[in-house]
């Protein structure tokens, strides 16, 4: 092959295959539409808010020793807390040999019932906000709330009107906890049960 200005070295190019005929690309399928979030019913939202607030109130009853007080000392469901200048010491009911047995029984039952009520109340509130009210454990919630109401009210009345009542001052924790139990019970009975059954008021 003779050199040319376009090919000064006289190289021979290999033969190229003819270009393939042009074909239009395959159509792109449309993107799926994002799921539309279902609006939460106003009654379900209200019930969830009340359940969350009630759970917070019941948590106060568990953590606080301000059911009753005497000076710097406090009484709670778990036992007695004695506070000094720099620290506080907690003594469980089971370690107080002179305390009546009802204090330990009602206090510990109240603690366990409140813990169960808090967990089930939060669970019910979450499923209500997710429009899945049927997943709420209504029977278990009502059972724990019933036990909590009996134990906490009995504990409060036993201390208030018992032999130690004249030496103790009523605190806020018991009232807050009992109010939370009552509020959660009312919502569970009236709203959560209806929403879980799919009824319309």
Which residue is listed with tokens 């808090």? 118
Domain span including residue 91? 42-197
Question: Is 22 among the domain residues?
Answer: no
Tokens of 129: 């906000």
H or E stretch including 42?
helix 42-63
pLDDT digits (tens, 9 = 90+) for 146-180: 999 999 999 999 988 877 767 889 999 999 999 99
Quote the distance between the C-alpha of residue 119 and its chain's center: 6
pLDDT at 200 over 50: no
Question: Is 10 among the domain residues?
Answer: no
Give the pLDDT confidence score for residue 201 in this predicted structure: 39
**Spatial separation of the C-alpha atoms in residues 79 and 88, rounded to whole Å:** 13
Give the pLDDT confidence score for residue 9 in this predicted structure: 65
pLDDT at 1 over 60: no
Rg (CA), the chain: 35
**Spatial separation of the C-alpha atoms in residues 115 and 109, rounded to whole Å:** 10
Question: Is 14 among the domain residues?
Answer: no
**Spatial separation of the C-alpha atoms in residues 41 and 35, rounded to whole Å:** 18
Tokens of 200: 């319309």
Question: Is 1 among the domain residues?
Answer: no
**Spatial separation of the C-alpha atoms in residues 63 and 60, rounded to whole Å:** 5
How many domains, in total, are found in the chain? 1
pLDDT digits (tens, 9 = 90+) for 17-74: 677 787 888 888 887 877 655 667 788 999 999 999 999 999 999 999 999 998 888 9
Q: What is the CATH number of the domain that holds 79?
A: 1.20.140
pLDDT digits (tens, 9 = 90+) for 90-135: 889 888 888 888 889 999 999 999 999 999 999 999 999 998 889 9
Query: What's the burial of 54, exposed, middle or buried (CB within 10 Å: 0-12/13-18/19+)?
Result: buried
Question: Is 62 among the domain residues?
Answer: yes
């Amino acid at each position: 092959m003779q050199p040319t200005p376009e090919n000064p070295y006289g190289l021979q190019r290999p033969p190229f295959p003819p270009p393939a005929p042009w074909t239009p690309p395959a159509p792109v399928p449309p993107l799926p539409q994002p799921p539309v979030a279902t609006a939460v019913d106003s009654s379900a939202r209200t019930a969830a808010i009340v359940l969350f607030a009630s759970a917070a109130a019941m948590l106060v009853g568990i953590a606080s020793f301000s059911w009753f007080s005497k000076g710097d000392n406090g009484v709670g469901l778990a036992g007695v807390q004695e506070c000094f200048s720099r620290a506080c010491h907690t003594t469980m009911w089971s370690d107080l040999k002179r305390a009546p047995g009802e204090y330990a029984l009602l206090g510990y039952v109240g603690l366990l019932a409140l813990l169960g009520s808090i967990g089930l109340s939060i669970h019910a509130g979450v499923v209500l906000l997710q429009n899945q009210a049927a997943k709420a454990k209504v029977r278990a919630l009502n059972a724990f709330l019933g036990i909590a109401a009996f134990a906490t009210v009995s504990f409060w009345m036993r201390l208030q009107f018992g032999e130690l009542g004249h030496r103790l001052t009523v605190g806020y924790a018991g009232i807050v906890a009992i109010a939370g139990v009552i509020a959660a019970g009312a919502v569970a009975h009236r709203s959560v049960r209806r929403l879980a059954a799919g009824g319309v008021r």
